[in-house]
Amino acid sequence: MNAKALLVLAALSIIAAALFATPAQGKKMSDPLNVSFKPLTKPREAWKGQVSPEAYAVLFEEGTERAGSCALLHEKREGTFICAACYLPLFVNHTKFESGTGWPSFNDPIPGRLATKTDYKIGYPRTEYHCARCGGHQGHVFEDGPPPTGLRYCNNGVSMRFIPKGEPLPALRD
């Protein structure tokens, strides 16, 4: 292979790498669907200085905020809802709907962003969901949502932050 062909091949490799690269963790990103991450092993207590006491009680003690108390309940702008602890994008605005419950509700999370477990705290089984990266409690999922999923992800507003479209997503927080 001659030098000219090697140069062309090298240039094409660099262009392909730039086009198809996944954003690195810790860099600001604008596409919530294209954020790579690894689950954190950070102890729950370590989050106390990084989130408000109200957010800590919900995220890491699995509490519930009072219905109707969150400004995100009425958020209607285009944008992304991220975990209030680690900033992982969880939902995009077009999956949010008015459920009448008093908590922000969504019918479809960003794929791979939530982990679930069965919760028996009120005497019967419910599906509880958490941020797949930091383990922060977000809410419960029910089978009474709108099409196309039929699911209602009932989220504590204090467990999330909203980033309007056009603003860069913050770097994932460790």
Catalytic residue among 70, 83, 86, 154: 154
Are 101 and 125 a contacting pair, CB within 8 Å? no
Q: Catalytic residue at 70?
A: no
Dihedrals phi, psi of 89, to nearest 5 degrees: -60, 130
Angle value at C-alpha 71, between 65 and 77, nearest 5 degrees = 135
Residues belonging to the active site: 154
